Amino acid sequence: MIAIIDYGLGNVQAIANIYKRLELPCMLARQASDLAQASHVVLPGVGAFDWAMSRLEQSGMREALDDAVLQQMKPVLGICVGMQMLARRSDEGSAAGLGWIDAEVKRLDPGPADKPRQLPHMGWNDVNPLSTEGLFAGFEETPRFYFLHSYYFAPNVQDDLLAESDYGSSFACAVRHGHVHGVQFHPEKSHAWGIQLLKNFATL
């Protein structure tokens, strides 16, 4: 059972619809007890880092999430701000992150003053997987995913880097530390590539 954390942020229904079309069991988890039956956890997120962390704390699921991921070792996938929440902290705010991966979240480089780069980074972009296993198994060509963000995930351990993309400079767009995974892009908005990635996560 794939538990999609529903704490008021993220495209939870779009993710659930994909899993339903794939005929994979899923549920929207709205309280701590819902996580007991989960085999996998998806943590979506949109908006500002501090606001997302605050909403998660208010949901009453934070302690159960820590237990599911850190003690029961259930695979987890953070999406967009949900990925950024896996880090220790973010330049976007002052709240502490979940700290499940040794990383910080930093602002994308806006570029030179005479040729500024548009922020947020929005739209389709190529993704370069560093591994053809796990989340990126079964991709026969360079995958493209939909992005919408102004901050990026900066892992402190190089081995945690799973895929990169480029927006003026290269940045981590997917990470993995053991059973903890994160993607900066939105698989639920990324057509066949996103469907394949979500399917792959369900088999981990």
45 and 52 in contact (C-beta within 8 Å)? yes
**Band of residue 176 on the pLDDT scale cut at 50, 70, 90:** very high
Question: And the tokens for 124?
Answer: 């389709």
Question: And the tokens for 198?
Answer: 């979500």
Q: Please tell me whether residue 74 adopts helix, strand or coil conformation.
A: coil
Higher pLDDT, 136 or 118: 136
Please tell me the predicted confidence (pLDDT) of residue 22: 97
E-strand stretches of 18-110 = 26-29, 40-43, 76-79, 89-90, 103-107
Residue with tokens 């908006």: 47
Please tell me the predicted confidence (pLDDT) of residue 116: 81
Tens digits of residue pLDDT in 7-57: 998 889 999 999 999 999 999 999 999 999 999 999 999 999 999 999 999
Tens digits of residue pLDDT in 121-147: 999 999 999 998 999 999 988 999 999
Report, as an integer, the average pLDDT of 63-75: 97
**Band of residue 110 on the pLDDT scale cut at 50, 70, 90:** confident
pLDDT at 99 over 80: yes
Altogether, the residues listed in the chain come to a count of: 204
Q: Which of 82, 88, 104, 99 is nearest to 184 (CA)?
A: 82
CA 187/CA 19 separation, integer angstroms: 12
Q: Catalytic residue numbers? A: 80, 186, 188
Domains, the chain, in order of start with CATH, read 2-202 (3.40.50.880)
Work out the mean pLDDT of the chain and round it to a whole number.
96
Please tell me the predicted confidence (pLDDT) of residue 163: 98
Helix H or strand E encompassing 180: strand 180-183
CA 83/CA 183 separation, integer angstroms: 6
CA 165/CA 137 separation, integer angstroms: 17
